Structure 1
């Protein structure tokens, strides 16, 4: 296995001071793709939140994109997240701004400078997700699949080493979901590791990868012998 982009060892994932997963040990290699599955409430979202430091890692050790999760001061969390792309099921786009303004908001918040450089990066990611012509549209003028592609474009702005996706196809029709999966596959082949929470086993059958299962307070790994 190549050098991991994320690694947890004997970690306990906690939500509101309650352990939802214990003894979590797994690593994800650079440019690897893995699914995260399990019933609602089994700990999928809590595990993802721990990886992007929305929940603290209080027990065990963990490293993501070179950052030590167990010893990560609050002031360093934004620097970790700049190395990650995070894709949510419910889009979380700013409804009062155009697509370009949504993306510009992220670039400004993460320290980009130079108007021409920012515009170029926005056009690059929109082209990458197949939406080069929608920059001036408002989010509500886009279909669900198009909105999710904008969310993925937003996640790609800072050229993340790891993409964390929480049920990214949960609100989409099967045909649209396949298109999103093909996009994730392209992103993965370009060198970005992907960890995707899903309950869509038809997608897993069509796009097979390693599967991590949250079950009974543990994380089971299809890649572990």
Structure 2
């Protein structure tokens, strides 16, 4: 089963086409990197996949939802099957870690205090932050904040994680520990598409590479993709 299928897709940013004739599939449980220069279309592609930008043309399906016919009312249902990890964390800084996670669970239809608390304990344990539920985000390091963001993305047991530069603002050791966490999440069956500029990580953890270049998407599954040194 594919969690992403794009055929001849046109990725738009405002009225400009940033990528054209994009065709690729990502299978359930697969891991791929998304690379390319700033402005090459990586973020626009991710935003199209979680329906923040409309599909310009072509056909696209994400976790079973057709992008070209997706009504606004269906967007929350699509996103419940996705884990989205933003570059700038987007945590609520006036709430504790547990309150941040509770907010998302309630927004996605969870109820029952005990059930919510148990799910929060599970995801925090999974990302190595079992003792951080009562902390405020500013009491955490950058790496710990990123782990909270990953925990938040895992709350609804997504089929697919979309991550936009998740190690972008972290020093190499912390980036490596975050990357190991992604590999572990992927090994347990969640597909991952990760946009990154960190070519060191790609060398260390080699996986399939999708590269945005000159308006095209190159795929290492079909041809060799050259990474910058």
| TM-score, normalised by the number of residues in structure 2 | 0.97
Q: 1:9-158 to 2 correspondence within 5 Å?
A: 9-158=7-156
Specify the SS of the correspondent of 1:89.
coil
Separation in 1, partners of 2:121, 2:76? 24
Specify the SS of the correspondent of 2:43.
helix
Over the aligned positions, Cα root-mean-square deviation in angstroms equals: 0.5
Separation in 1, partners of 2:97, 2:31? 28
Separation in 1, partners of 2:214, 2:56? 20
Question: Aligned pair count?
Answer: 223
4+ residue runs of structure 1 moved beyond 3 angstroms? none
Specify the SS of the correspondent of 2:20.
strand
Structure 1 regions of 5+ residues with no counterpart?
Answer: none
User: How far did residue 224 of structure 1 move?
Assistant: 1.2
Which residue does 2:197 correspond to in 1? Answer: 199
Which residue does 2:162 correspond to in 1? Answer: 164
Separation in 2, partners of 1:224, 1:110? 38
Separation in 2, partners of 1:175, 1:49? 28
Structure 2 regions of 5+ residues with no counterpart?
Answer: 224-229
Specify the SS of the correspondent of 1:212.
strand
Specify the SS of the correspondent of 1:6.
strand
User: How far did residue 58 of structure 1 move?
Assistant: 2.7
Separation in 2, partners of 1:205, 1:145? 21
Specify the SS of the correspondent of 2:55.
coil
User: How far did residue 113 of structure 1 move?
Assistant: 1.1
Given candidates 174, 199, 205, the residue that maps to 1:176 is: 174
| TM-score, normalised by the number of residues in structure 1 | 0.98
Separation in 2, partners of 1:39, 1:160? 28
User: How far did residue 56 of structure 1 move?
Assistant: 0.4
Which residue does 1:188 correspond to in 2? Answer: 186
Separation in 2, partners of 1:58, 1:180? 33
Separation in 2, partners of 1:51, 1:224? 21
Post-superposition CA distance 1:160-199 (Å, at most 9, x none):
0000000000000000000000000000000000000001
